[in-house]
């Protein structure tokens, strides 16, 4: 009698353990998948920012051809570009400070490019140049892509965070070390509209 009772207890414990492991495995897989989505979205954000950086030499050279003496503006763009290429963020260990830094560096490019486009307003020949108009369209398209990819990144982060922080997944998240991630904040750095200075 006694033996069969202990057996029952052991079987019950084993069943609960199997259930918990099964639960943990599915939750773990879900979290890994969502983390992968976040890093995919982040890679896309970086690709789009890189695309903008790659546009800069062409854009600067075209404007130079018409407005050679706007030296300070060109230098500002080149400097911002050089600075931004040094700041990279690894999606695996993305701290809020790192993201802030990245955003600030990209924000500098945004405002420097804004000034570059603004001075083109003073040169009617440049404005009418089809090559310049096409470059400008590429820049606009890239800014749009950056926005889209940032939104998608934020959405992916949100889905991940909701999973990691809701019960009962948060227990497994704690065990396996899945931390809350940070998305872009609307008002910081890069999302600011470029200021036009005269």
Q: In this complex, which beta carbon is closest to another protein, that of residue 24 or of residue 65?
A: 65
Residue 134 binds another protein, judged by CB under 8 A: yes
Residue 191 binds another protein, judged by CB under 8 A: no
Residue 98 binds another protein, judged by CB under 8 A: no
Residue 135 binds another protein, judged by CB under 8 A: yes
Instruction: Candidates 24, 141, 155, 191: give the one binding another protein (CB under 8 A).
Output: 141
Residue 118 binds another protein, judged by CB under 8 A: no
CA separation for the pair 97, 149 (Å, rounded): 20
Residue 80 binds another protein, judged by CB under 8 A: no
Residue 54 binds another protein, judged by CB under 8 A: no
CA separation for the pair 32, 20 (Å, rounded): 18
Q: Which residues contact 92 (CB under 8 A, 6 or more apart)?
A: 39
Residue 149 binds another protein, judged by CB under 8 A: yes
Q: How far is the CB of 44 from another protein (least distance, A)?
A: 8
According to DSSP, residue 193 is labeled P
Stretch that binds another protein, among 12-20, 27-35, 81-89, 140-148 (CB under 8 A): 140-148
Residue 138 binds another protein, judged by CB under 8 A: yes
Residue 16, CA distances (Å) to 55, 61, 169, 172 in order: 59, 69, 17, 16
Q: How many residues does the chain have?
A: 198
- The b-or-e profile of 112-138 (16+ CB within 10 A means b, else e) is bbbbbbebbeebeebeebeebeebbeb
Residue 130 binds another protein, judged by CB under 8 A: yes
Residue 180, CA distances (Å) to 138, 167, 169, 174, 183 in order: 35, 14, 12, 10, 10
Q: Which two tokens stand for residue 133?
A: 């108009």
Q: In this complex, which beta carbon is closest to another protein, that of residue 45 or of residue 76?
A: 45
- Residues at the interface with another protein (CB under 8 A): 130, 133-138, 140-142, 144-149
């Amino acid at each position: 009698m006694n033996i069969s009772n202990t057996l029952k207890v052991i079987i019950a414990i084993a069943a609960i353990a199997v259930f918990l492991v099964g639960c943990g495995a599915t939750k773990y897989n879900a979290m890994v998948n969502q983390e992968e989505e976040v890093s995919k979205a982040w890679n896309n954000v970086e690709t789009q920012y890189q695309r903008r950086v790659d546009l800069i030499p062409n854009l600067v050279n075209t404007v130079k051809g018409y407005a050679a003496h706007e030296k300070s503006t060109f230098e500002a763009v080149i400097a911002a570009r050089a600075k931004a290429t040094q700041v990279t963020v690894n999606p695996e260990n993305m701290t809020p400070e790192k993201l802030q830094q990245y955003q600030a560096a990209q924000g500098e490019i945004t405002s420097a490019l804004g000034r570059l486009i603004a001075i083109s307003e003073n040169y009617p020949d440049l404005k009418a140049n089809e090559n310049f108009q096409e470059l400008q369209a590429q820049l606009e398209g890239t800014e749009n892509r950056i926005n889209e990819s940032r939104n998608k990144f934020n959405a992916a982060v949100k889905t991940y965070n909701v999973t990691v922080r809701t019960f009962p997944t948060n227990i497994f998240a704690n065990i396996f070390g899945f931390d809350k991630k940070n998305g872009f904040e609307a008002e910081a750095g890069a999302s600011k509209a470029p200021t036009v200075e005269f």
